[in-house]
Each structure stands twice: as structure tokens, then as C-alpha cells.
Amino acid sequence: MFRREFIKRSLQISALTVFNKAWGLTPLPPAVQADVIIIGAGIAGLSAAKILKNKGLSVLILEARGRIGGRIWTDKSLGFPVDLGASWIHGINKNPIKQLADQFHIKTVPTNYNASQVYHPNGKLLSGSEENQLYKRYDGIYRLLMDIRRKRMQQRLPDISWQQALDQVLSQQSFNANALAELYFALNTEIEHEYAADLSQLSLFNWDVETPFGGSDHLVLNGYSQIVENIVKTAGLTANILTHQVVQHIDYGSASGVQITTNQAVFSASRVIVTLPLGVLKANTVEFYPALPKAKQVAIARLGMGILNKTYLHFPDYFWQQDERIQIIDSISMVKGHWAEWLNSHYYTRQPVLLGFNAGQHGSEIEAMSDGEIIDEAMQTLFQRYGNDIPQPEAQLITRWGSDPFSLGSYSYIATGASVADYQELAKSVNQRLFFAGEATSSDHPSTVHGAFLSGLREANKVWAITNKR
């Protein structure tokens, strides 16, 4: 009752303006109504807004944070650009993000995953042939896992996790501690880091659903945020974006349109495109009235929201220079999933920076640790590699995407028991009023920037097709 009264009263624009002034917030634009409201100013929301604005519709984007970009976030506090979210354009062939980068004259550089080094836990660098052997053994296990998958699918047995399949393989082979650490290292860097989830969470049947564009992966130089900033600039979207608007309630039950209540005001629109991250949808921090259809709720619950966290360490100098061409520096850890993969940022930026990744379980664990504890743990790996007399970092940037209330995770994955149909379910519109975009609605390219971008285009075109018919 109270909320509905509040909504009615809040619709008075003058009251809103007074409210905003009282709190020293940017005054709201003269109208809080729009043809289309888009929730979230990540790449999905911005790509949708660009199309709809271009068609002549009035568009408002409500964004909870004080910045645009969402999981595309370039930080400049170290004095140079550092990407805390996405870094790579995955597969440049016909990739719309590469096309945007080219159009905006944004520099990108290919990553050569073979330009890598692997360190043993005892600090020894693996020789080329040792590395080859490690990956040969991994390929053998991988083939056995895929055999289990094929047989289970043929026999119509239920899905299991990667870990359950691996346990079957391991029960028939004996591995000493080193060989096991090497196997888990390969699985961690090849699978868990890519899908931001543990082997115990990932579906064996449906983990590799994406349709790759092909071509190499390119890292965006000088910050991925350049892409979103240029979209906003070239589409003239600045005035359409309202920041610090935390959407709390979406009422799509009325025949006249959709009402959205934020922490600051109430807005209304004929149609709404929701680009909330899967983590936010899972947490139910945004209330839908009426509740979302059961099938959509099931899909939200079934899909997984993974964790990949980044730790940038800025050192006083580039002490780890061995081979100038090395881009990836890996470490086999005796503790599964700890600090296995590092990017030699110096290769790309010429700054004395190392970037450590942690995914899945350890990615989650570090979120509860202080910066100091995380650095100490990271440094243990570096001491093993480079000796105890290396300098301490003079600055660090550490992400905690799982604790970020406007993301609650890094990107989606297909959890055991889920399938690509769940992504398709999430993409379905409701009552021709509520539309859903974002990486977790892309069945061809989930978990990626290009998937999110294309989902925004997809939903904008759906909205336009309906609007245009009337």
C-alpha cells in the first residue's frame, strides 16, 4: 500500500525537482516520461539507446553508478589507463567491437597466448619440452572428459559437472602431487579462468556454447572505456543518461505502461529494456511487479554468475624482464586455482605492472581478504618465481566483482543442469513491455562485450518493430 501511494505522489515532477535540489543532486530533466527507458548504462544499454534514439524515440537510461560502462571500466588512478573489467575483443573477425574500435581509431593489439612462460611451484621455469608434455597430458585428460560427455549424452543420462567427470577419470589413473597440480593448473587456466567458474560448477554438457567470431583476441590499448565513451559521444546520448539512479521497483502490470521507482524518483515509459546483470537479477534486489514469469525465474536461478577478479600490481621498476616478447606468465600452484595466470602488462603498456587473475572459488575467496592480505599472497607466487629480493608494489588495483552490488559477479556461465535454452529464456520479452538485454541474454556470445552489445541491438530492434506497427 505504502509503495503504491508513494508512486502516485512521486509522479509529480515538481516534487521530484524539490527532492533532488534538497539532496544537492543534479536536477531531473523536465520530463520523467520517455518512450523507452533502459535500465543500465553498460554496453548493452548504450547500444540499445543508440538505435532507438536514432529512430526518433525519446530514450532515458537509468544507471545506478556514477559512471557509464558497467563491467567495462577503465581506471586512471595509477596515472595510466587500467581495465578493471573487460580487456579483450575476443576474435576480431567481423566482431562489432573491433569494428567500433576501428571506427573510433582506438588502438588494439593481438595477444599471442603462445608467447607464454610457465613456472613450476619450485620456481623453475618449465622448458619448452616440459611445457609441451604438460599440455599433452592435459589434452589426454580433456579427451577422456569429452568421451564421458559424449557417452552420457548418448545414453540420455543427466548433466554432471566437469569436476564429477574429472573425478571419474582420476579414479582410474594414479597421479602424484606434482602431476595433479599440473593438471589442475591447465584446467584452471584453460577452463576456469575463461568461464569464471569452478570445475565443480560448470556444466559438462553445455559449457562451450558460444559461436566464436574467429581471428585473434585483441587487447584494447589505453582503456576499453574508450569504446563506450565514443558510443555516447557519437550517438549524442549524454543528456539521455541519468546516473546515481538505483532502480528498485519495476511495475509493468498496468495497461498504460511501465513505472520504475529508483532511489530518487519515479519514471514511466511505454517500454523498458532491462540490462541488469544476471547477478543482480539473481539477488532480487530489483522487485518486479507482477513477478517475472516462472520460466524466466527458473532460467535466472539455473544459470551461473561467475567470478573473475583482477589484481594489478604496480612496481617501482620492470624487474621481471626476461624475454621482451612474453605476454602471459603462468605459475603452477600446489594450491588449486591460486594465482595461476598473470599478464605481463608491460608488454602492452610499457608500465611496470603485472596483472594476476583469480577465478571461481579463489576469485571469491580473495573478496573477503584485505588488499594487504591479497598482495602478500600474490607476492608469495612472485617470490617463488623471481626470488625474495624483488621490490614490493608501490600501488595496486584489486577488483571484487562478486561484492559489487551493481554486478554481483563478473559474467555468466552455464552451470550444471542449465543449458543455452536458459539464455534464450532470459532474452524473452514479457507482455511486449519488458525487454531483456545484456551478456546473459546472448545465447551465441554469452559472457562477452560483443554479446552484450549485440543483445542491445536485438532488443532495440524488437522495441522498434512493435512501436513502428502502432
Ligand X SMILES: Cc1cc2nc3c(=O)[nH]c(=O)nc-3n(C[C@H](O)[C@H](O)[C@H](O)COP(=O)(O)OP(=O)(O)OC[C@H]3O[C@@H](n4cnc5c(N)ncnc54)[C@H](O)[C@@H]3O)c2cc1C
Q: Which residues bind ligand X (CB under 6 A)?
A: 39-45, 62-65, 70-72, 85-88, 90, 245-247, 275-277, 280, 286, 308, 310, 399, 401, 406-407, 410-411, 438-439, 447-449, 452
Q: For ligand X, which is the closer residue by CB, 40 or 121?
A: 40
Q: For ligand X, which is the closer residue by CB, 48 or 181?
A: 48
The CA–CA distances, whole Å, from 452 to 41, 113, 149, 153 equal 12, 25, 29, 30
> CA–CA separation, 213 vs 211, rounded Å?
7
Return the amino acid letter for 465. Answer: A
Neighbours of 256 (CB within 10 A): 7
The CA–CA distances, whole Å, from 31 to 25, 35, 241, 310 equal 16, 11, 13, 41
313 neighbors 378 (Cβ within 8 angstroms) = yes
In angstroms, give the least distance from the CB of 411 to ligand X. 4
In angstroms, give the least distance from the CB of 354 to ligand X. 16
For the purposes of burial, counting CB atoms within 10 Å of the CB of 313, is it exposed (0-12), middle (13-18) or buried (19 or more)? buried
Q: For ligand X, which is the closer residue by CB, 193 or 346?
A: 193
In angstroms, give the least distance from the CB of 184 to ligand X. 22
Strand order in the sheet with 341-344: 116-119, 328-331, 341-344, 353-359, 308-314, 395-398
In angstroms, give the least distance from the CB of 8 to ligand X. 22
Handedness of CA 219, 224, 230, 231 (dihedral sign): positive
DSSP state of 410: S
In angstroms, give the least distance from the CB of 75 to ligand X. 12
Q: For ligand X, which is the closer residue by CB, 182 or 459?
A: 459
Return the amino acid letter for 342. Answer: W
In angstroms, give the least distance from the CB of 444 to ligand X. 13
| DSSP 3-state percent helix, strand, coil across the chain (nearest 5) | 40, 20, 40
In angstroms, give the least distance from the CB of 272 to ligand X. 11
Give Cα 427 distance to the centre of its chain. Answer: 17
DSSP state of 78: T
In angstroms, give the least distance from the CB of 312 to ligand X. 11
Q: For ligand X, which is the closer residue by CB, 203 or 410?
A: 410
> CA–CA separation, 168 vs 325, rounded Å?
39
In angstroms, give the least distance from the CB of 441 to ligand X. 8
In angstroms, give the least distance from the CB of 169 to ligand X. 30
In angstroms, give the least distance from the CB of 395 to ligand X. 19
Structure-block grid coordinates of residue 99: 569494428
Residues 6+ apart with CB under 8 A from 337: 184, 188, 192, 198, 358, 359, 360, 361, 362
Q: For ligand X, which is the closer residue by CB, 42 or 393?
A: 42
Is residue 167 classed as helix, strand or coil in its secondary structure? helix
Q: What are phi and psi of 382, to 5 degrees?
A: -70, -35
> CA–CA separation, 275 vs 442, rounded Å?
12
Q: For ligand X, which is the closer residue by CB, 206 or 407?
A: 407
Q: For ligand X, which is the closer residue by CB, 161 or 448?
A: 448
Q: How does strand 241-242 pair with strand 308-314?
A: unpaired
